[in-house]
């Protein structure tokens, strides 16, 4: 399951991502945590000190390796240089799984222990001005989008992405890549204005979007959010002393998180899990092709000097269990 946290700067995306990651890890399911936010703070929120966080390998610096791996033997992708952030997988491409070792994790992921459970953390690396454009060939967030477009994830395994609600995710197809998008909003006009913008983009693409109110102090705050976002409001989170202690570098055991906040995380987990039944891999594949053709025409073709529409494999559909399809197509039942 692919889950995004978006929202206005300072709303609590990183904090709520990190709590949600801890919640999933505590259930025993595997998690790949991805920091794709402008302000790279997910590592520290998951307990790394500054030195450890600074030593994390940046996905943005590994784009050639990521592209080369994912391209595999796909004959439609002539070279890693012609692969842009929206280039979709096709026959011959290598797909990624949450539970596996692969060269992308080897190069970009580090394993963290969260109260005894191991998770993987990947970070895009710090952003500069030039990373925030539309025509972003070397886009750091593009490394994440490529991975999501090549990921075949099942129900009990998770990729959680801490990201911005910025123009980068709308220019490409990034915002359509998730089973569930949690929009973190403080009960303020600015907080909900980001929601409106996101909702606008999301509407035409069937994006599952729920609002998580944060730093909510009382009924008046809840009433405000309810009035502004209606039934999209999933749950609210108040001030957390557990979070404050973590910010001081003294994280208590996760099981000591306040009851109300544990309950909020469980509600978010249930809402994310419920989207599994609505998964549609054909639509998912169609959307990545849609955004690829759009990016190819607007800048990719000019940048690479190739017609990137040729990279689209018309017969390919990303699926959770491609090998099962292969076995039945061959007509020979295989021993388990
Ligand atoms: N529920 C909460 N209880 C206590 N402190 C909180 C809570 N939510 C967020 N904070 C604090 O508010 C600050 C901003 O939160 P956070 O860094 O998670 O926001 P963000 O949306 O990721 O910000 P940025 O846009 O800078 O990445 C942090 O110091 C964080 O510890
Ligand atoms: Mg953040």
Q: Dump the DSSP string for 185-218.
A: E-SSHHHHHHHHHHHHHHHTTT--EEEEE-S--S
What digits encode the pLDDT tens for the residues 16-40? 999 999 999 999 999 999 999 888 9
Q: How far is CA 129 from CA 134, 139, 188, in A?
A: 12, 11, 27
Reported as a pLDDT band with limits 50, 70 and 90, residue 167 is: low
The DSSP letter of residue 58 is B
| Lining residues, ligand 1, CB within 6 Å | 7, 9-15, 37, 39, 41, 214-215, 237, 239-240, 243-244, 247
pLDDT in tens, 38-89: 889 999 999 999 999 999 999 999 999 999 999 999 999 999 999 999 999 9
Q: How far is the CA of 42 from the centre of ligand 1 (A)?
A: 11
Q: What secondary structure does DSSP assign to 276-325, as a single string? A: GGG--HHHHHHHHHHHHHHHIIIIIHHHHTS-GGGG--TT----S-HHHH
Q: How far is the CA of 84 from the centre of ligand 1 (A)?
A: 33
Give the pLDDT band (50/70/90) at residue 170: confident
**Ligand nearest to C-alpha 12:** 1
Percentage of the chain with pLDDT > 90? 79
DSSP one-letter code for 150: T
Q: Is the pLDDT of residue 208 over 60?
A: yes
Q: Is the pLDDT of residue 115 over 90?
A: no
Q: State yes or no: pLDDT of 203 exceeds 60.
A: yes
pLDDT of residue 334: 43
| Sheet-wide strand order for 2-7 | 109-114, 117-123, 31-36, 158-163, 2-7, 180-185, 209-213, 233-236
Q: Please tell me the distance from the alpha carbon of residue 84 to that of residue 88, in angstroms, as a whole number.
A: 9
Check if the beta carbon of residue 51 is closer than 8 Å to that of residue 43: no
Those residues with Cβ within 8 angstroms of residue 13's Cβ, 6 or more apart along the chain or in another chain: 5, 6, 7, 37, 162, 163, 164, 184
Strands 2-7 and 180-185: parallel
Determine the Cα–Cα distance for residues 237 and 147; give it in Å rounded to an integer: 31
Please report, for residues 11, 51, 80, 263, 326, the alpha-carbon distance to residue 70 in angstroms, rounded to integers and kept in the order given.
34, 31, 9, 39, 20
| CA 8 to centroid of ligand 2, rounded, Å | 9
Nearest ligand 1 atom to the CA of 37 is: 27
Q: How far is the CA of 322 from the centre of ligand 2 (A)?
A: 35
Statement: the pTM of the whole predicted model exceeds 0.75: yes
Q: Rounded CA gap, 250 and 279, in Å? A: 39
**Mean per-residue pLDDT of the chain:** 91
Which distant-in-sequence residues (6+ apart) come within 8 Å of 68 by Cβ? 80
Residue 336 has pLDDT above 60, yes or no: no
Tell me the β-bridge partners of 64: none
Is the Cα dihedral 273, 121, 169, 153 positive or negative? negative
> Strands 117-123 and 109-114: what pairing?
antiparallel
Nearest Cα residue to 284 out of 317, 308, 309 = 317
Interval 285-299 mean pLDDT = 96
**What is residue 333's predicted lDDT score, i.e. its pLDDT?**
43
Q: Which atom of ligand 1 is nearest to the CA of 237?
A: 1
Nearest ligand atom owner, CA of 45: 1
2-330 CATH: 3.40.50.300
Comparing 55 with 322, which gets the higher pLDDT?
Answer: 55
Ligand 1 nearest atom to the CA of residue 164, by list position:
25
Distance 141 CA to ligand 2 centre (A): 14
* Element holding 162 (H helix, E strand): strand 158-163
């Amino acid at each position: 399951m692919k889950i995004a946290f978006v929202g206005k700067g300072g709303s609590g995306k990183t904090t709520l991502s990190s709590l949600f990651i801890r919640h999933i890890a505590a259930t025993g399911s595997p998690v790949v945590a991805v920091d794709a936010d402008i302000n790279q703070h997910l590592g520290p929120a998951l307990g790394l000190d500054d030195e450890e966080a600074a030593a994390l390998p940046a996905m943005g610096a590994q784009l050639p390796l990521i592209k080369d791996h994912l391209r595999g033997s796909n004959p439609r992708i002539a070279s890693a240089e012609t692969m842009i952030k929206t280039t979709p997988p096709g026959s011959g491409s290598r797909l990624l799984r949450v539970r596996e070792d692969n060269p992308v994790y080897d190069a970009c992921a580090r394993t963290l222990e969260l109260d005894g459970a191991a998770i993987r953390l990947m970070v895009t690396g710090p952003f500069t001005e030039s990373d925030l454009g539309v025509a972003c060939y070397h886009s750091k967030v593009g490394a994440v989008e490529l991975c999501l477009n090549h990921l075949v994830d099942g129900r009990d395994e998770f990729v959680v992405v801490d990201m911005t609600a910025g123009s980068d995710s709308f220019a490409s197809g990034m915002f359509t890549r998730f089973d569930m998008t949690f929009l973190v909003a403080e009960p303020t006009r600015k907080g909900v204005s980001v929601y409106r913008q996101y909702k606008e983009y999301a509407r035409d693409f069937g994006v599952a979007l729920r609002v998580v109110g944060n730093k909510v102090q009382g009924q008046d705050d809840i009433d405000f959010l309810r009035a502004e976002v209606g039934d999209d409001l999933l749950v609210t989170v108040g001030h957390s002393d557990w979070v404050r202690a973590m910010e001081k570098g003294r994280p208590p055991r996760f099981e000591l998180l306040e009851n109300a906040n544990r309950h909020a995380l469980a509600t978010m987990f249930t809402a994310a899990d419920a989207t599994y039944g609505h998964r549609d891999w054909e639509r998912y594949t169609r959307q990545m092709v849609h955004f690829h053709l759009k990016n190819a025409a607007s800048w990719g073709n000019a940048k690479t000097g190739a017609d990137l529409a040729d990279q689209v494999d018309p017969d390919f559909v990303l699926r959770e269990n491609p090998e099962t399809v292969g076995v039945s197509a061959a007509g020979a039942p295989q021993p388990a």
